[in-house]
Amino acid sequence: MNEILKIEHLTKKYDDLTVLDDISLAVNKGEVLVIVGPSGCGKSTLLRCINGLEDIQDGKVSIDGKTGMVFQSYELFPHMTVLQNLMLAPVKVQKRKKDEVKKEAGQLLERVGLSAKKNNYPRQLSGGQKQRVAIVRALIMHPEVLLFDEVTAALDPEMVREVLDVILDLAKQDKTMLIVTHEMAFARAIADRVIFLEGGSIIEDTTPAQFFDAPRSERARKFLRTFEFENVH
C-alpha cells in the first residue's frame, strides 16, 4: 500500500461546536475518494483541514506532497486573464521559468478545451469554463492530492457535465483525488471508494457498489433516498 494521505484522530471545533469528530482516514496514491453526506456534515471542513485552511483542535494530517484545491465558487482572480491566473502561482511560489509554465498552461488549457480563452478575463467566461480553468490552475502546481469541494454545485445544469468530464479524465490518469459532491451518478462512476459522513463522523467507508446498492447503515439509506423520486402517476 502506497499511502499518500493519512488522517489520524482529526477533530475540528468551532468554539463548542464539534464539526469533525475523531476522523481517521488513509488514502492511497491514485485512489479516488468520494465524500458524500448531508449538508453541514463536515465534508467541506474535512477538505479545508487537509488543505491547511483550518486549524485543527486535535489529531494529525500528514500528506506526502502538496495538495491542490478547487472551490465551489471557482475563485479565479478577477483582475487577471486566464493565462495570468494559471501562471501566477507556478512562477511566484514555485519559482518556475515563465516559458515552461506558459507552455504547460497552453497544453492543459488545450486538454480542457479552452485554448481560445487564455487571454480572456474570468468575467468573460461561463461558470463551467471558469471551473475548468480553476481545475487547471490547481493541476499546474503538480499537486500530489487534488481536493474538489462541490465543484459543480454553483453551475447551471447544462455546464455540470463539461466539468465532471474533466475530473473523469483526471481519474483515468491515476490522480489521487478527494471529491465532495452531490452528483450521485458521478460519484458512483468515478469513486474507488466512498465515504459517508454525518455529524462529523465517518458512518460508512466502502466501495461505490456496496454504498449505493446496499448501504449498511440506516442513515446512509435515508440519505440516498433523498435523491430518489416516487412515480406520482
Partner 1 sequence: MNITVLQEYLPIFAGAFLLTIKIGLAGVALAFVIGVAGAFARYFKIPVFSAIIKCYVELFRNTPLLVQLFFIYYGLPVMGIRISAEICGILGLGLLGGSYMTESLRSGLEAVPKIQTESAFSLGFSRPQTFMSVILPQAFSISVPALVANVIFLLKETSVFSAISLMDLMFTAKDLIGLYYNTTESLFMLVVFYIIMLLPVSVLGSIAEKRSRLKMFGSD
Radius of gyration of the chain from its Cα atoms, rounded to whole angstroms: 18
Assess 119 for contact with partner 1 (CB under 8 A). Answer: no
Q: How far is the CB of 172 from partner 1 (least distance, A)?
A: 24
- Pairing mode of beta strands 32-36, 58-63: unpaired
Q: Which one of 26, 53, 116, 209 is in contact with partner 1 (CB under 8 A)?
A: 53
Assess 126 for contact with partner 1 (CB under 8 A). Answer: no
Amino acid present at 3: E
Burial of 33 (0-12, 13-18, 19+ CB in 10 A): buried
Assess 141 for contact with partner 1 (CB under 8 A). Answer: yes
Q: Which stretch binds partner 1 (CB under 8 A): 23-31, 73-81, 199-207, 216-224?
A: 73-81
Site of grid cell 478575463: 121
Q: How far is the CB of 35 from partner 1 (least distance, A)?
A: 17
Cell of 48: 479545508
- Number of other residues whose CB lies within 10 A of the CB of residue 229: 7
Closest to 39 measured CA to CA, from 179, 169, 198, 157:
198
Q: How far is the CB of 30 from partner 1 (least distance, A)?
A: 22
Between CA 57 and CA 206 the distance in angstroms is 27
- Backbone CA torsion sign across 225, 189, 130, 36: positive
* 72 in Cβ contact with 153 (< 8 Å): yes
Nearer to partner 1 by C-beta: 104 or 198?
104
Between CA 58 and CA 22 the distance in angstroms is 8
Between CA 90 and CA 98 the distance in angstroms is 8
Assess 124 for contact with partner 1 (CB under 8 A). Answer: yes
Q: Which one of 24, 58, 60, 77 is in contact with partner 1 (CB under 8 A)?
A: 77
Q: Which one of 22, 89, 189, 199 is in contact with partner 1 (CB under 8 A)?
A: 89
Q: How far is the CB of 227 from partner 1 (least distance, A)?
A: 28
Nearer to partner 1 by C-beta: 43 or 137?
137
Nearer to partner 1 by C-beta: 91 or 168?
91
* 127 in Cβ contact with 156 (< 8 Å): yes
Q: Which one of 37, 68, 200, 208 is in contact with partner 1 (CB under 8 A)?
A: 68
Q: Which one of 117, 130, 132, 137 is in contact with partner 1 (CB under 8 A)?
A: 137
Number of chain positions touching partner 1 (CB under 8 A): 24
Q: Which residue ranges make up the site for partner 1 (CB under 8 A)?
A: 51-53, 66-69, 71, 73, 75, 77-79, 88-89, 92-94, 121, 123-124, 137-138, 141
